[in-house]
Every structure is written in C-alpha cells, then in structure tokens.
Amino acid sequence: MALTLIEKILANHSGKDVVKPGEIIDIEIDVRVARDFGGANVVKNLVNNGLEVDDVFKTFFTFDCNPTGSDQKYAANQQYCRLYAREKGIKIYDIDAGIGTHLVIEKGIAYPGCTIVSTDSHANILGAIGAFGQGMGDQDIAAAWANGKSWFKVPKSVKITLNGKRPANVYAKDIVLNLLNKFGANQLLGYSVEIYGEDVENFTLDQRITISSMATEMGAIIILFPPNDEVIKYAEERSGRKIAKILADEDAVYEQKFELDMSKFVPMMSRPGHPDDAIDIKELKGSKIDSAFIGSCTNGRYEDMKLVSEILKDRKVAPGVVLKIVPATDAIWQQLLAEGIINIFKDAGALVSNAGCAGCAAGQVGQNGPDEVTVSTGNRNFAGKQGKGKVYLGSPAEVAASAVAGYITTPDDIPEKPAEFAAKGGFGKVAKKKKAVSEKPTVVEGKVWIIEQDDIDTDMIFHNRYLTITDINEMGQYAFDNLAGWEDFAKKAEVGDIIITNKNFGAGSSRQQAVDCFKSLGIQAILAESFGAIYERNAINAGFPILTYCCISELQLKQRDMIKVDLESGEVTNLENGKSLKINSFFDVQMEIYKRDGLLG
C-alpha cells in the first residue's frame, strides 16, 4: 500500500510496514525534549511515579522560554531540572543556547525521517526537514522519557501544491500568512500537510522552518516538506550519519489535494487577536506603531536577521518606537556578531537580546503594555500573548521597515522622514479632585505582631516578583510572603494591627510597595528600633505612621496584646497590663505630612 510522508515516518517507527489514518499505534521516539516551560513538571511526574529515563542519550532539556533567567519561577524550574539532569546524566542546552526546536536541527540531533516530541507546541517545526515533531503535555513527555515510545493516532494527509514563482516582495512569512488566509485556523485541523511545488523545491531551510512553524496556528498536526538535497546535506554534516531521503510514494492517498498559484500571493499581515486574520498589508499601511519585535521560532533565523540588517543599515528606528531583536540560537547570534550585523542593529537603535523564544512565552523580551501597538514576526498574536497591547504579525522585512517608518509599511515604501508620535492630551491638566476631609487620629490602638528580627529587607517585606503591581488594593496579600516564618502574615493580619520589630526594618530597595502593602492590609503603624533610610522616607511621605524606640521590653508585651500609641507624645501603653513608656514621637514635618494624608495630599 502506498504511503504519505507522515505515514511512512510513523510506519518506520512502529515496526509496521503499513499504517492507516485513524489507526492508533505506538511509535519509537528518537528525540525527547523538555523545556524550562514544563520541564520541571516532567521531572516531577517521573519522580512522583517512580519512573526512570529510558535512554538519556535521546533525552534533552532546552531552556529557551526564559534564557535571561529574569523570572524567579523560571529560574527555580531551570535549577530543579539542572539538578535532575546532573544526577541522571541528561544533556542540557542551557540559557545560553537558544530555541530547542532549532537546536535539535542545528546540532544534528534531529534529522529527516526521525521522530521528536517536546513540551513545545511548535515541535512540528521539524516538518521543515521532513521529520515528525509533536508538542505534548507534561505527562505525555514524562511517559515518552520513561518508555521511549508514545501512542499516536495516524493523521489524515493533505497535499498542497504551490504552482508558479514566489513574487520578489513575498517572503516565507507571507506565504504562510497567505495559507492562513485561505485555510483559516481549522480547515486543516488534525491533518498532516505536505507542501510541494517546483519553486518549493528551492526553498531554503530557513524558509521551510518559517512555514512549518505555523502549522499549529493552522490547526494542522504538522506541515511537512519533502527534504531536498540541501536539507539532506545540512543534516548529514551535523548529525554525522548517512541519511536516506524519505519521500511519500507517488501513488499515496491524500484526503484532499489543493493547488494554489503562488505567483498571486501578496505581502500580508495578521490583525491583532488571530494569526489567521491575515489580510493584504496594503489595507494596514500607515497604521501607527509603538514597537516592533523580530525573532521567535518562526523568524529568528540567520536569513531573517540578514534581511533585517539590509533594511536597517544606515537607518534609524523611528523616534519613540522600540525595536527588539532576538536570534533563534546562539550560533546565529555569534554569526551576526562576526559579520558586524549586531552593530547594524545597535546603530539603528534596536535592543538585541540573547538567543531564545522571546515574547511568546512571556519569558524574555517582546512584551507590550496596554494600548501599545506592536508589529511582530512571531507565530501568535492571541490577546494577552505578548502583553496587553495589540500585535500584528508580519515578515521580518515588513516589521523592520515598519520600525523605521514608525507605521506599518513595506521595505519598498520606507519614508525619508519617519512618523512621530503626537500628544493625545491624556496627561494634560486635570482638575484636582478634592479629598474628603477627615481628622487623622494622633492616638491609635491595635493588637501587636512582634517580629524579633533585625535587617528585615524590602524583598522579605514585598518580593521583587510583585513589583509590577501598581494597585495598592492588590499589594496587601503579598506582605511578608518572603519572610521566613511569616509567609502567611497577610492571611492572619487584621485591620488596625500594629507591627513591632527590631533594627533596620526596610533595608534594601526603594520600592514603595514595601510600605503600601501594609496600608493595603490596614496595618496602623510600625514600631522599630530603626528603619532603613529610604524606607523611613517612603513611609513618612505616604502618611504611614512609623516610630522608633530604644527599649520596649518594659512593656512586657506578648503576641497579640492590645496597645495604644500616641503619635504626638510618643507614649505607648500596653492595654493588657497598663504598663507605659515613652518612645520617639513624630517630628513636626512627619506630623504635617501625616495629617495631609501623604506628601502629595
């Protein structure tokens, strides 16, 4: 029986001569990968179920979602995986290496005809070299690591033939956006797609990767390119093995066949929210942008970067526009450095980050803020995927040209003078709101929390992983959650409580949240032997009562005793036993700011 390309690859790995669409088979997995995103859960699934790795030489970690290590949760997951890898002898491509799906091709780990699974939903990028790649969940990957095999349902196949020549202004990204425009996000759902055509045979590996990387966005299992001689040679050089060219049989049976005229394809961009909402870029020309991103597993290749450098050379990014560039692998980064391309990027005003996935996994550069308009070479622009702004998807050439112009455009239509931002008046003069006048008490009463510890720093009070929080109402829940033994403070604290602690409270950073988190909880005051200098200013300027003392032991306080504090006189009374003493009272400026409810009151 004649087989399609996917059927032939799966048959070769199932011990069967023939497999049919819809059949459930167990297939041998040649390459088994877990990333920093999901990798820790893979390990936990193995450990919790008492499973060992089937073959460590076929098993890899790739840390590509957050290669900067800038997120502490990612950093914790990465280190957890490192420890496991050291114990088991598993190879790690760490934060200096790049995108895992690209690395397995670049390093010759994956090759035409092989099978690979990864926690990356874009593992089907391996279709670019005529290999079977599949993204899977943590349990699936753990099972593949333990068993060396995975069950799979043989998909139906679709054959797409691209006739004619690709127009000069149509890039690989435009080709896949034209396909998305035609097939949408679900017409090819669950199919294995093979792409053919006379001009397709000449597509470079980088171009094939761009197109295959968006199979997921089309709903397809994979987009497969029959490997040409160039791809075979590339794989043989990197893998060190002789590779037979695996092709579909000439009389293979396809569920559907499509013939498209590639000469009629046009430059396209996807509108925000849906990759398949791709339209002729002419309809978007002139739309003002705030930022641009070039990279991702779709367009972080050397050819992409070279093309971008040709557009940026002797040009500058438009005023106020931010351009972020992230190569796919460190080898590409090093090549760009050696050829002076990094200098071109920097001279143009771009931010260049180390190799990795970038904006897709919210783990590196490429995020945007509310109302920010971004043009991106990524594969997805779902709402919230790269932040809270709007993301258009396009080719590296179109994104680079738009970054220079300051609005969406094409490389052949870059203006001599870029567009500039016009003030919208959103921060103009605003009538000052009158605050309701209320007498702030100079005597407060509350139950105490006694924390006998020196040098409680601002990371213990309000950890830096929460620094993006700007709403004071959200801050209280994180107070002390990084202070050993007091992680549950926010849950136990009551409105009106008073904290008593030791020396140098609030040491460390200038973060205002370390004061505001207590205001959010309704804490009335903090008494300490001394405060960090910046913390003291922040508290006073926020109108939050803090006082210092030299000795408070004579009050004979117990945890949760009720005390009374006179801010003017400095008298503190333990209402449980009647004992009193004098501590340092508010000084004049402090009282003035307190009564105004803060420096800006």
pLDDT, tens digit (0-9, with 9 covering 90-100), for 512-527: 999 999 999 999 999 9
User: Would you say residue 357 has pLDDT above 70?
Assistant: yes
Axis crossing angle, helix 588-595 with helix 533-541, rounded to the nearest 10? 40
| Helix-helix angle 205-212:229-239, to 10 degrees | 90
CATH number of the domain that residue 476 is part of: 3.20.19.10
Report the interhelical angle of 36-48 vs 72-88 (nearest 10°): 50
CB 130 within 8 A of CB 246: yes
Residue 436 has pLDDT above 60, yes or no: no
**What's the 3-state SS for 423-466?**
CCCCCCCCCCCCCCCCCCCCEEEEEEEEECCCCCEHHHHCCHHH
Residues 118 and 245 both lie in one domain: yes
Give pLDDT, residue 437: 44
> Looking at this protein, which amino acid is placed at residue 2?
A
- Mean pLDDT, range 575-587, rounded to an integer: 96
Domain for residue 428, yes or no?
no
Residue with tokens 């859960």: 41
Q: Assign 29 to helix, strand or coil.
A: coil
Spatial distance between the Cα atoms of 112 and 229, rounded to a whole number of angstroms = 11
Note the pLDDT of residue 405. 98
194, 323: one domain: no
Q: What is the mean pLDDT of residues 196-216?
A: 96
Whether residue 398 is found in the same domain as residue 321: yes
In a domain, 270, yes or no: no
Using the 3D structure, point to which of 239, 264, 289 is the last residue of a domain: 264
498-513 pLDDT per residue, tens: 999 999 999 988 899 9
Residues 291, 255: one domain?
no
Percent of the chain with pLDDT over 90: 84
Residue found by looking up tokens 């932040």 in the block = 387
136 is written with which tokens? 């899977």
* Structural domain ending residue among the three candidates 264, 285, 312: 264
Cα–Cα nearest to 367, from 353, 388, 350 = 388
pLDDT of 5 over the 60 cut: yes
Which among 391, 313, 321, 374 has a CA at the least distance from the CA of 346? 313
Same domain as 311, residue 256? no
Mean pLDDT of the chain: 93
Long-range contacts of 201-208 (CB under 8 A, 24+ apart): 201/228, 202/228, 203/172, 203/228, 204/230, 204/303, 205/105, 205/128, 205/129, 205/230, 205/231, 205/234, 206/172, 206/301, 206/302, 206/303, 206/304, 207/172, 207/175, 207/303, 208/128, 208/129, 208/172
C-alpha to C-alpha distance for 197 and 211, rounded to whole angstroms: 14
Would you give the end-to-end CA distance of the chain in angstroms? 82
* Average pLDDT of the residues in 391-410: 97
User: 443 in the Ramachandran plot: left (φ > 0), alpha (ψ -120 to 50) or beta?
Assistant: beta
Residue 87 has pLDDT above 90, yes or no: yes
Q: 35 lies in a domain?
A: yes
Residue 147 tokens, joined: 């068993």
> For residue 429, is it within any domain?
no
Q: 117-158, pLDDT tens digit by residue?
A: 999 889 999 999 999 999 988 899 999 999 999 999 999 999
Q: Which of 16-20, 422-426, 461-465, 532-536 has the lowest mean pLDDT?
A: 422-426
Beta pairing class for 443-451 and 498-501: parallel
Quote the number of domains for the chain: 3
pLDDT of res. 121: 87
Q: How far apart are CA 549 and CA 512, in angstroms?
A: 23
Q: How many CA atoms lie within 13 A of 505 on its CB side?
A: 26
303/326 same-domain check:
yes
Query: Do 339 and 234 lie in a common domain?
Result: no
Q: What is the pLDDT of residue 432?
A: 60
Q: Give 227-272 pLDDT, tens digit per residue.
A: 999 999 999 999 999 999 999 999 999 999 999 999 999 999 999 9
pLDDT of 428 above 80 = no
Q: Which of 172, 184, 402, 380 is nearest to 281 (CA)?
A: 402
Task: Return the structure tokens found at 539.
Answer: 């508290």
Whole-prediction pTM: 0.84
Residues 251 and 378 in one domain: no
Q: Are residues 46 and 71 in the same domain?
A: yes
User: Residue 431: which pLDDT band, with cuts at 50, 70 and 90?
Assistant: low
Co-location of 20 and 78 in the same domain: yes
Binning pLDDT at 50, 70 and 90, where does residue 16 land?
very high
Tens of pLDDT, residue by residue over 164-177, are 999 999 999 999 99
Q: With pLDDT > 70 as the criterion, what percentage of the chain qualifies? A: 98
Quote the domain boundaries for residue 358: 276-413
DSSP state of 551: -
Mean pLDDT value across residues 213-240: 95
Dihedral in degrees, nearest 10, Cα atoms 399, 404, 407, 409: -60
- Look at residue 258 and give its three-state secondary structure: strand
Give CA–CA dist 591/386, Å, rounded.
45
Q: Is residue 423 part of a domain?
A: no
Residue 494 falls inside a structural domain:
yes
CATH number of the domain within which 295 lies: 3.30.499.10
Strand partners, 158: 193, 256
- In angstroms, the Cα distances linking 136 to 84, 108, 203, 553 are 20, 22, 28, 60
Q: Is the residue at 350 inside a domain?
A: yes
pLDDT of residue 190: 92
Residues 228 and 107 in one domain: yes
Domain for residue 387, yes or no? yes
Q: Which of 230, 264, 298 is the last residue of a domain?
A: 264
Domain co-membership, 234 together with 347: no
Mean pLDDT on 211-240: 95
E strands, 146-289, are 149-153, 157-163, 192-196, 222-224, 256-261, 268-270, 278-280
